[in-house]
Amino acid sequence: MATQAVIKAERLGRGMRRATITWTELCVAWTLVNPRTVPMNAEEYANLERIEPTHWYYAGKREMVRRWISRARPPRREDLLLDCGAGTGLFAQEMQGICRVMVLDDHEEALRILKTRFGSEQILSLAGDRVPLPDESLDYVTALDVLEHVPDDAAVVSGFHRLLKKDGIVVITVPASMALWSDWDEALHHYRRYHRAQLRTLFDDSKWEVLQVNYTNIVVYPAVWLVRKWRRRFPLREDRPRSEDRLPPSWLNGMLKRVFVELAMVKIPFPFGVSLVLVARRR
């Protein structure tokens, strides 16, 4: 099954474009003609595929999202989840034992990896001008570190609403705080990092019941801030790996994962964090 979308661009001035996206429902539209929307290169996918099974951040994020899904509405075997911007597909693969899953991505390297983990009928990609998914056809939508990659994040959220059934659940994660902007964001072709109110505003109260919106990765924020400020002044040599690409010692990795997940599940509104999580129910 192939997901199809048409993306039109309207010039707004010097080098600026506004995206008018025929498929506003799931416009993972980082294919717009813009230098910052160049897909992640093969090296970035190789780094991700290597560290994400065990790295505290990636493993913790997947556990956090599974727990929020279960808390919001425990999935049943017949339920259908779409993971948007699925990347290597590891999260969706882990969810296959709980419910039915489909994955969406439009990057060649991601699709290559996804084809090793899923059947062709489970993989959606962007091409053409028609979406082969009817209104209110999904029980869950996940977009884990996706919205920061698209120029029109409001259109993406609007699409989630159209595709979810009534009482369907969406779980979003995004990077937080522009103060942390670094070479890592540029390598991953981010448009922005979010603050809480900015993310919350995308979910209109008339359409969504927001169950949780909070900062995560609170404990490591000071260290991340210092490292990224240092790298702005003293950029890494190209042959030096970024700290984000290295796996910590097992004792530290396990401790960071546990702290990350447990704090991400509480209702206390934290004032800052490296990331944000939002969980909402479609009205």
Of 161, 146, 174, 162, the residue nearest 204 (C-alpha)? 161
Report if residue 84 sits inside a domain: yes
Give me the phi and psi of 168, to 5 degrees please.
Answer: -65, 155
Q: What is the pLDDT of residue 247?
A: 87
Q: Domain containing 39 — which CATH number?
A: 3.40.50.150
With tokens 């950029």, the residue in question is 235
With tokens 């075997």, the residue in question is 77
Q: What is the pLDDT of residue 188?
A: 81
Of 244, 125, 137, 135, the residue nearest 187 (C-alpha)? 244
Q: What is the pLDDT of residue 243?
A: 56
Report if residue 2 sits inside a domain: no
Report if residue 240 sits inside a domain: yes
Report if residue 107 sits inside a domain: yes
Report if residue 217 sits inside a domain: yes
Q: What is the pLDDT of residue 40?
A: 59
Q: What is the pLDDT of residue 7?
A: 32
User: 3-state secondary structure string, the chain?
Assistant: CCCCCCEEEEEEECCEEEEEECCCCCCCCCCCCCHHHCCCCHHHHHHHHHHCCCCHHHHHHHHHHHHHHHHHCCCCCCCEEEEECCCCCHHHHHHCCCCEEEEECCCHHHHHHHCCCCCHHHEECCCCCCCCCCCCCEEEEEEECCHHHCCCHHHHHHHHHHHEEEEEEEEEEEEECHHHCCHHHHHCCCCCCECHHHHHHCCCCCCEEEEEEEEECCCCHHHHHHHHHHHHHCCCCCCCCCHHHCCCCHHHHHHHHHHHHHHHCCCCCCCCCCEEEEEEEEC
Report if residue 1 sits inside a domain: no
| Residue-number span of the structural domain to which 151 is assigned | 7-282
Q: What is the pLDDT of residue 229?
A: 84
**Could you give the CA distance from residue 22 to residue 267 in angstroms, rounded to a whole number?**
37
State the total domains in the chain.
1
Q: What is the pLDDT of residue 228?
A: 86
Report if residue 55 sits inside a domain: yes
Mean pLDDT by 10 residues, the chain (283 residues): 35 37 38 38 74 94 98 98 94 97 90 95 68 86 94 92 96 97 86 97 98 97 90 70 74 96 96 97 98
